[in-house]
């Protein structure tokens, strides 16, 4: 079982709709979770992070965390064509003396006109 | 405020050669982590450096080694290159004193091994 799992997609949504990206994790020691956006050929760009159960909103983005279900999600409201990218979910926790981010394989989002 | 920088941008090597990649962390950051991202995959953790020491290593062979300098910049060295080492190599910086969790990535180095 992978530590962080995501549906590879592609997830296709029309412009203006809500995109819902999901992620599950197996390591209960993970303390916080990060969503990165990665355009093709570029490096990951941090969008949001969440530490506590519940929702966290930042502009058009809402991250949701449910530690009991080991589930993280990212909602993108009013999706725009510029949101078309791969979204990486990552869990963070201490492993020994260092912290480590563990990534899923990413979900490709396509926002159609 | 300078972000994370990496050099070179692209690199082409042949099997068996050695390569050195470089990274300068974001201003105010003291911790550097290196990741390998193969096509269609998420980044895989290679190792992390803080206070010029390797603090944690992922599942990568000893052919992968690194170094951190007093100015917090870092190098990733890969010896005896294999075709499978072709990937995007990402450097991420963070601050150890604030927990080290929020990591910012550089633009990456695309390594092609022929």
pLDDT digits (tens, 9 = 90+) for A5-25: 998 889 999 999 999 999 999
| Mean residue pLDDT across chain B | 94
* 3-state per-residue secondary structure call for chain A: CCCEEECCCCEEEECCCCEEEEEEECCCCCCEEEEEEECCCCCCEEEEEECCCEEEEECCEEEEEECCCCEEEEEECCCCHHHCEEEEEEEEEEECCEEEEEECCCEEEEEEC
Classify residue B12 by its DSSP letter: E
Q: Does residue A1 carry a pLDDT above 90? A: no
Q: How far is A44 from chain B (nearest CA, A)?
A: 6
Q: How far is B86 from chain A (nearest CA, A)?
A: 14
CA distances (Å), origin B105, targets A14, A26, B39, B63:
30, 24, 17, 23
Q: Which residues of A touch B45 (CB under 8 A)?
A: 100-102
Q: Which residues of A touch B103 (CB under 8 A)?
A: 34, 46, 101
Pick among A44, A94, A108 to test the B interface (most B CBs inside 10 A): A44
Classify residue B26 by its DSSP letter: P
B97 pLDDT band (50/70/90 cuts)? confident
**Residues pairing with A111 in the sheet:** A13
The residues in A 61-100 lying below 8 A from B, measured between CB atoms, are 88, 90, 92, 95-100
Which residue of chain A is at minimal alpha-carbon distance from B43?
A103
A100 pLDDT band (50/70/90 cuts)? confident
Q: Which residues of A touch B88 (CB under 8 A)?
A: 43
Tell me the two tokens of residue A22. 């999901």
Tell me the two tokens of residue B54. 């390797």
State mean pLDDT over A75-104.
89
Q: What percent of chain B has pLDDT over 70?
A: 99
Q: Is B98 helix (H, G, I), strand (E, B) or coil?
A: helix
State mean pLDDT over A95-106.
81
Q: Does residue B92 carry a pLDDT above 70? A: yes
The residues in A 26-65 lying below 8 A from B, measured between CB atoms, are 31-32, 34, 36, 42-46, 49
**b vs e for A60-84, b when ≥16 Cβ sit within 10 Å of the residue's Cβ?**
ebbbbbebeebebbbbbeebeeebb
What's the pLDDT at B47? Answer: 94
Lowest mean pLDDT among A19-33, A95-109, B61-75: A95-109
Q: Which residues of B touch A105 (CB under 8 A)?
A: 40-42
pLDDT tens track for B11-47: 999 999 999 999 999 999 999 999 999 999 999 999 9
B44, B55, B105: residue with CB nearest A97: B55
Q: Does residue A96 carry a pLDDT above 70? A: no
DSSP E strands in chain B: the ranges are 5-7, 10-13, 19-24, 31-37, 44-50, 53-57, 64-68, 74-78, 87-94, 104-105, 109-113
What's the pLDDT at B22? Answer: 98
Q: Is the CA virtual torsion B20, B26, B31, B33 positive or negative?
A: negative
State mean pLDDT over B82-103.
90
Q: What is the dihedral of CA A39, A76, A106, B112, to 10 degrees?
A: 10
A95 pLDDT band (50/70/90 cuts)? low
Q: What percent of chain B has pLDDT over 90?
A: 89
Q: Which residues of A touch B92 (CB under 8 A)?
A: 101
- A89 neighbors A103 (Cβ within 8 angstroms): yes
pLDDT tens track for A28-83: 888 899 999 999 999 999 999 999 999 999 999 999 999 999 999 999 999 999 99
């Amino acid at each position: 079982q992978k530590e962080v799992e995501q549906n590879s997609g592609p997830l296709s949504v029309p412009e203006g709709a809500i995109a819902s990206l999901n992620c599950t994790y197996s390591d209960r020691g993970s303390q916080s979770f990060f969503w990165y956006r990665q355009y093709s050929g570029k490096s990951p760009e941090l969008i949001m992070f969440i530490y506590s159960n519940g929702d966290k909103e930042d502009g058009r983005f809402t991250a949701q965390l449910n530690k009991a279900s080991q589930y993280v999600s990212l909602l993108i409201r009013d999706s725009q064509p510029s949101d078309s990218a791969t979204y990486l979910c990552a869990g963070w926790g201490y492993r020994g003396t260092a912290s480590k981010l563990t990534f899923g394989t990413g979900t490709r989002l396509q926002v159609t006109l | 405020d300078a972000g994370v920088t990496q050099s070179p941008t692209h690199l082409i090597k042949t099997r068996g050669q050695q390569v050195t990649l470089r990274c300068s962390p974001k201003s105010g950051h003291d911790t550097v982590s290196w990741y390998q991202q193969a096509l269609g995959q998420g980044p895989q953790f290679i190792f992390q450096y803080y206070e010029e020491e390797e603090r944690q290593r992922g599942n990568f062979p000893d052919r992968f080694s690194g170094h951190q300098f007093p100015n917090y910049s870092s190098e990733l060295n890969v010896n005896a290159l294999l075709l499978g080492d072709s990937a995007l190599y990402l450097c991420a910086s963070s601050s150890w004193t604030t927990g080290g969790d929020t990591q910012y990535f550089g633009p990456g180095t695309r390594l092609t091994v022929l």
